[in-house]
Structure 1
């Protein structure tokens, strides 16, 4: 009897079925700038309509939030997380996502599971008018256990050179506004899983895993709604490392983000985690977003109109002179 690739644990047919289950939905994310169809060796995207375009790229994954998704057999939100973690990063520079590519790895491919994960990416792409123009599905028995999956993504966006947001125009007395998170997003899940050992327990009327799997919020519509009307001098995506590590990345030397913690609306699930794990404030604010998904820095006179524009937004601090990049006032 001849030995086949399938005998080693790789079923090519499942890969073909995965493509079959997603290709129609994926094609709906395409626009006239996409010059090739699914199945090509490379993806082509025509760049037009810009005077001095700058490409901005980002890559990220979902981390151990995947473990909760796999254990609870909920696969359709993880793709949204994967897209959001990449797209929200490039958004910090005022870049609008153009196209996205995904990478899905597993031990043994199940086309039903794989297609649900990728269709989550498709959903996020449709919401932001981003083209999903390519990807890779890798079946690697021996590297991953059966039933395990990992997902990562790569996003490319564009911004006019004169419109790049990089924090260099941040000045004293400008205001820091928080755009609310939808939950933990995709950070800190190794600690979350250490504290919340039973993901099926009831939390506020539903299984805990549903709260923990709330997908990462997409901020593109919010940010561009603001940029259409008001100048924004800095944007920070509050991901791993929390506000303590991420906000200082955009603060110029000699200036400081002066944060009033009492102004931050901390989600109840994060308060519960801190209580059960006996976690310090510094550890919480240095690991999780604590309800702050994005920070934007704007002129004080524009702060109130922006608050009225974005539901749930709030002023959490201001820019002061200080050698420290951030001060949290508890």
Structure 2
């Protein structure tokens, strides 16, 4: 009896077709430093001489159970943007410029068209971040995943001059906290989101939600904002003392990660608008402020900490570079946490 890899569930030809389909998308992201093409054993990237004392900054992440929404909607061209965003926004926090990105796509059965849609989204994210999609891995593993499902992981590498690393050590009492608006949920809290919408209240993805102004599925698949280009431009003109990417753990757990001991972040709750998706989730889940702000970004996707004298300049620059930004609080003496304040307190 003829035994073959294909009969076991792995289609080598599908893998070859996938590589051919994604080459165009990857090549569209290449920077001048890239000196290899897609399809080799490794990607090559030349670190040019414009750096005096370069430090490489790396990060890895995934998309979490937001993937379940993409599966259900059979829409795969935006989830790659989320993947890139989760990685490049993280390394941006240290002041690093993303240089290149690698992806890992694992699935039960490789479908070249679907894979191309996923990689297309990744390439769009790389273009937004200004980094090259240098390579990746596509794994077909029957028996490991459910049919029609896949998993994604991403890896970003960036660079920063050693004397320009942003680590929060210069933050001091009285500094202003600037929040950049998110694009909705981004890629965190989806286990709770799916539980509330689909298990508890039996919503449908194609259901139009008046508060949201779109279908529930469209809202949930809004891709994570990539803040790289705007923040890199602002860094050239203003001293940024600390930054935080607001991901899992929300504002309550991510902002303290950059604070020196003895300082806390006081956030004014009414200093920025809470987007309807968060208000709806709070209502459905009867979530209090603490739980909401520890689970979701609550409308703020990225935070800058700067000197008070620079806040108006930063707001103007943010608008110039396409961001919606707010002064959301101030650094005070305290126990290295976040305090949520009602207006006027």
The interval holding the TM-score normalised by the smaller chain is over 0.9
1:54-88 superposed Cα distances (whole Å, 9 cap, x missing partner): 00000000000000011001100000000000000
Mapped partners of 1:178, 1:192: distance in 2:
23
Q: Once structures 1 and 2 are overlaid, which stretch shifts more, 179-188 or 220-229?
A: 220-229
Q: Equivalent residue for 1:202? A: 208
Deviations, residues 192-250 of structure 1 (Å, cap 9, x unaligned): 00111122211234221001000000001220121121100000000000000000000
Match of residue 222 from structure 1: 230
Where has structure 1 moved over 4 Å in runs of 4 or more?
Answer: none
User: Greater shift after overlay, 197-206 or 89-98?
Assistant: 197-206
Distance 1:324 1:30 in 2: 41
- Give me the TM-score of the superposition, normalised by structure 2: 0.94
Unaligned runs of 5+ residues in structure 2 are 199-203
Task: Calculate the TM-score normalised by the size of structure 1.
Answer: 0.98
Q: Which position in structure 2 is the counterpart of 1:286?
A: 294
| 1:39 Cα deviation after fit | 1.5
Q: Is 2:318 the partner of 1:317?
A: no
Within a 5 Å distance, the mapping from 1:114-263 to structure 2 comes to 114-197=115-198, 198-204=204-210, 205-263=213-271
Mean Cα displacement is larger for which, 253-262 or 231-240? 253-262
Report if aligned partners of 2:91, 2:158 keep a CA contact under 8 Å in 1: yes
2:19–2:39 Cα contact (<8 Å) kept = no
Deviation at 1:325, TM superposition (A): 2.2
| Structure 1 residue 89: Cα displacement | 0.1
Backbone CA RMSD of aligned residues:
1.0
Is the contact between residue 253 and residue 325 of structure 1 (CA under 8 Å) also seen in structure 2?
A: no
Q: CA deviation at 1:25?
A: 2.0
In the TM superposition, what are the counterparts of 1:70-85 in structure 2 within 5 Å? 70-85=71-86
Q: Distance in 1 between matches of 2:25 and 2:115?
A: 14
Question: What is the CA distance between 1:298 and its match in structure 2?
Answer: 0.5
Asked if the contact 2:88–2:129 (Cα under 8 Å) also holds between the matched residues in 1, the reply is: no
CA distance in 2, matches of 1:138, 1:209: 28
What's 2:201 paired with?
none
Structure 2 residue matching 1:7: 3-state secondary structure: coil
